[in-house]
Amino acid sequence: MKKIHLTINNKSYHMEVEKDLRLVDLLRDQLFLTGTKEGCGEGECGACTVIMDGRTVQSCLVLAFQADESNITTIEEISSDGKLHPIQEAFLEKGAVQCGFCTPGMILSAKALLDKNKNPSEEEIRESISGNLCRCTGYNKIVEAVLLAAEKMKDGGTL
């Protein structure tokens, strides 16, 4: 067992973990943050995407001890006091959510993009979500949603 310290959604956690525990399992099974999904378990679908130290990662490929002293954001963090984040609002307005399984990862990839680039082009958006597979929407609605989210956030909608 290894003692680690992580900050998850602005909350500090001191934990003891098995060396082969994956971050996705720590989040879902130990902290009950089940917004992060496991799709393929092989880093090929992006459903397990979280933001670690400002960059998106596949939590199914990160061993929990590798996240020691990291700052992690999961989908649970981005809404606040029951109010949706502009990206979440945009996804709903544009019909970018069907089954919803890719959505947490998709939104976090969009957030990581918009945190660095407030005015992305369509090409930049498509590239930023190219690590997140969606079997339902055909991606166009998702791209429209991220464009709308960028507009909303420019108008001061950022949480």
Partner 1 sequence: MDPKYMMPKTLEEALAYLDQRGKDIQLLAGGTDLVIDLRRGKKDKDILMSIGHLKGLQFIVFKTDEVFIGAGTKFTDIVENERIKKEVYGFWKACKSVGSLQVRNMASIGGNICNRSTAADSVPPLLVLDAKLMMISKNGNKIISLKDFYEDQKSICENEMLYAIKFQKPKKGEGMGFEKLGLRKALTISRISCAVSIKIHEDKILDIKIATGALGKYPLREPAVEELLKNRKISEMLLNEALQKMSCSVEERLKGRSSMSFKKEAVKGVFKKAFRGAVKGAYGNEKNSPDY
User: In this chain, which of 22, 94, 141, 152 binds partner 1, going by CB under 8 A?
Assistant: 22
CA angle 113, 116, 118 (to 5 degrees): 80
- Residue 141: name the closest of 114, 122, 155 by CA: 122
- Burial status of residue 7 (CB atoms within 10 A of its CB: 0-12, 13-18, 19 or more): middle
- Residues 5 and 148: their CA atoms lie apart, in Å, by 36
- Burial status of residue 134 (CB atoms within 10 A of its CB: 0-12, 13-18, 19 or more): buried
Contact letters for partner 1, residues 32-71 (x by CB under 8 A): ---------xxxx-x--x--x--xxxx-xxxx-xx-x---
5 lies in the binding site for partner 1 (CB under 8 A): no
Nearest distance from residue 2's CB to partner 1, in Å?
Answer: 7
108-127: contacts with partner 1 (CB under 8 A): 109, 127
Residue with smaller CB distance to partner 1, 95 or 138 = 138
Nearest distance from residue 74's CB to partner 1, in Å?
Answer: 14
19 lies in the binding site for partner 1 (CB under 8 A): yes
- Burial status of residue 83 (CB atoms within 10 A of its CB: 0-12, 13-18, 19 or more): exposed
Binding site for partner 1 (CB under 8 A): 2, 19-20, 22, 41-44, 46, 49, 52, 55-58, 60-63, 65-66, 68, 109, 127-128, 130-133
